[in-house]
Structure 1
Amino acid sequence: MEYRITAELTLPVGTPGLDGLQQQGAAALLSEWLDRVATVEGPEGVEITPYDHRLEVRSTGAVVELLVDAPALSFAENGAEALLHEILERTELLADWQVGKCEVTVSDAELAEALEGGADERVLSSGIGLPIEDITAQRRRLLSLSSRLHAFDLDAFGPSPEDPDARFLAAGALVERASVLTEELLMDIMTLDEEADSLDKDEANWTADDSEGLFVLHDLPVRYRHHYDLGFAKKFLIASAVVYSRLTSSPWVPPASTAESLALHILVENAKDLLVSFAAVDPDDVTAMFAVFESRAHSRHDHEWLYLEDLDTADPDDSSADPLGFLSRDAHSWFAPYPEVRNSATHPYLIDDED
């Protein structure tokens, strides 16, 4: 598929602007290298082919427009960026220049035409009710975030679906939703705190069971909602932040407690919804990708037991119905580290003296 890339090349910080003669020299050097390029190896070893370019050199740098042939948007943008970095590195006089914004840019008419085939045809026929430009903008945003998921490579999402962007989009969705969920947890804490302030001292502790419109706490197992008080919410914010920060570093450290496993579970569910509802990724592909991801990301799957409806009617004294002993435990116990995990792997705020 054909993509038009617009990239900005900028001078090093603090460098004086280029005069007219220097602009002509930079234009000649860049044009010479751009004319030489035949193919470029992008992500996953996929080759892209640039076959035309336009160049405008200014006193502050240059704007390059490239027409490239690539199997998907992510390959086009990443391949073009790799090409420009290589050109600057090989051109001694421009070695200190930097590659700024590098992304696909199309007009509305070109966008509609570009989306007629390949993976993007599914965007048009997805039926999610969003304008094409909104879907494309969301997909581009998630693709740009995907490189921040350092804890996993694309194989963590299983074999590549028919949509070649799908695994990149899944990685970006995890990063994007981690940020959003953190903000929403802060809002939940503020809500509980404000509502608790209105209580008389002899009233019961205010919990998520007493509040309407909470974001994250209402996604936790419903049967324990009366345990999610302000102290719990603060601890869950820390637990989730620990897990989410691990996504951006390598190697991956699996959840160290039931609470951390729940935080990762909620993140995955939110990422799934984002991909299906706003990025037009096929629901079956989303389910398959994250089934593989969760099998690799979790060391335990005890959190899944908390969502079983049968647990609501189980006899607390029946160990076979509750083999993990959740019915006899308070939700605050979820922050205790798994026995095989050292306390050093857990945030100090989450460790009680009795643990």
Structure 2
Amino acid sequence: MTYVVTVETRIPGGAPELDELSRVGAGTLLERGFDSVAGVEGPDGVEVDVLDVVVGVHPGGAILKVFVEAPSLEVAEDAVGSVTQEVLERSEVLAEWVVESSEVKLHTDLARESLEAADGPDAPPSDPQVRRAQHALKAAETFETAEETHDPEAEIRAMAARLRSFTPATFGVADPVDEFGVGPGGAELAAGALVYGAEVLIDELYDDVQALADEDTNVAGCEGHLWHLDQLPARYASRYDELFARRFLVTAVALTTRFTDGGFERLGCLAEELVLKFLLEQAHVTLDLYGLLDDEVTAALECFATEVYEDGDFEWLFDGGAEGAERAEEADGADGPDGPAPGFGTWFTPFGEDRYVHPYAADEHVQEPEDA
């Protein structure tokens, strides 16, 4: 039988409430902890199959909805309670969190479907991984119902103040309002979406690094799911290995840090231009997801991109035609009249001596000098 175990956890007494970034991190740790659990041994060695888990983190802790198949309510509750405590203890960051309650509810819809489909063409698959995938969507829908009071617009607007390197004018706000028609409200939503998007982008880039490390391969050979690295120019897919992914992740962290600490001046290298491209896309997706992407906010993001990008020369990298391939062959490793051309080997090379590239990511040498 399929059950939903609702587990409520809280942060240690006296600890400060979790901010947005801490909530993202805690959610990731909980999800990864449960991802490593395929099954749980209940009382008397009874096997409990973990189908899916949905995590919702709030300032004071987290609520987990764990979907399991178990022979009884008691077995499901005992097994999930034990594995939740184990997941918390295995994470040094969450080791002191407290499990406040664990309640098992029969998921009647899934149970009815299972009974009606028994031995029929719609019978649940025997493969646990396939069953887990089928339940994922329904798990998400269940959690969304529990989150009806969530106000994403207010949360995104509250994040805008953290984008300290930019003013409303960067987003097209003018007095009087000009042809862009961007007011302070539209600029605030755009700024907040960039901060929100930065947290999501960095978290997903971390997952991409881990995926390449687990398979010891590059993007071209990766069989697992990738969030962003497979969206980079396809012609270089075989060169996006774990080291590249780590350098790209550090570049994203460094750039978004300068966005939020007030230290940003100009983009430092081509890799930062690509990070910004992903960040703008993530901001659009976030706003569209919550029905907040209207013409005014779109114009605000366009103004921001125009102000921060000095040019759009990097876009040719995404040209998959013959012209793009020819230009890539000419540029890769070649020097132009203004210095190194933007071939793959120069993605982390500073545009100039006055530009910032994180020391971990920066190219030490564009080209090794030849012996005289």
TM-score of the pair, normalised by structure 1? 0.52
Do the aligned partners of residues 353 and 146 (structure 1) sit closer, same or farther apart at CA in structure 2, a change above 3 Å counting? closer
1:1-46 deviation digits (Å, cap 9, x = unpaired):
xxxxxxxxxxxx9xxxxxxxxxxxxxxxxxxxxxxxxxxxxxxxxx
- Offset at residue 185 of structure 1 (A): 1.0
Q: Distance in 1 between matches of 2:291 and 2:336?
A: 38
Q: Which runs of 5+ in 2 are unaligned?
A: 1-13, 15-143, 367-372
Aligned to 2:237: 225
* Aligned with 1:339 (options 352, 357, 370): 352
Partner of 1:236: 248
CA distance in 2, matches of 1:351, 1:187: 22
How big is the shift at 1:275? Answer: 1.1
Match of 1:154 in 2: 168
Q: Name the CA shift for 1:169/1:287 in 2 (closer, same or farther; >3 Å).
A: closer
Q: Aligned-pair distance for 1:349?
A: 1.2
* Separation in structure 1 between the aligned mates of residue 275 and residue 252 of structure 2, nearest angstrom: 5
- Any stretches of 5+ residues in structure 1 without a counterpart? 1-12, 14-129, 197-205
Q: Deviations over 1:138-164 (max 9, x none)?
A: 101101111101011112111374776
- 2:318 is matched with 307
Shifted more, 253-262 versus 215-224: the winner is 215-224
**1:354 corresponding residue in structure 2:** 365
2:210 matches 1:210: no
* Contact 1:135 1:278 (C-alpha < 8 Å) held by counterparts: no
CA distance in 1: counterparts of 2:262 and 2:327, whole angstroms: 43
* Counterpart contact for 1:166–1:281, Cα < 8 Å: no
Alignment of 1:46-65 (within 5 A): none
1:137 is the counterpart of 2:151? yes
Deviations 1:196-243 (A, max 9, x none): 1xxxxxxxxx21122242012122222222221111001001111111
- Once the 2 structures are TM-superposed, how far is the Cα of residue 295 of structure 1 from its aligned partner? 1.4
Residue 260 of structure 1 is matched in structure 2 by: 272
1:180 and 2:197 are equivalent in the alignment: no
Q: TM-score, normalized by length of structure 2?
A: 0.50
Please provide the CA RMSD for this pair: 3.4
In 2, Cα distance between equivalents of 1:219 and 1:253:
27
After superposition, the Cα gap between the structure-2 partners of 1:281 and 1:134, relative to the gap in structure 1 and judged at 3 Å, is farther
Pair 1:296-2:316 in alignment: no
Change (3 A) 1:136 1:208: same
Identity of aligned residues (%): 30
> Residues of 2 paired with 1:309 and 1:137: CA distance?
41
Deviations 1:174-195 (A, max 9, x none): 0011111111111111110010
The structure-2 alpha-carbon separation of the partners of 1:215 and 1:301, relative to structure 1 and needing over 3 Å to count, comes to same
Distance 1:280-1:226 versus aligned 2 partners, 3 A rule: same
Q: How many angstroms apart in 2 are the aligned matches of 1:141 and 1:258? A: 32
Match in the other structure for 1:247: 259
**Equivalents in 1 of 2:198, 2:365: separation in Å?**
31
Contact 1:150/1:250 (<8 A) preserved: yes
Distance 2:296 2:204 in 1: 27
The 1:336/1:143 distance shift into structure 2, 3 A limit, reads same
Aligned residue in 2 for 1:77:
none
Cα distance in 1 for partners of 2:336, 2:234 equals 18
1:290 positional shift: 1.7
Question: How many positions carry a matched residue from both structures?
Answer: 212
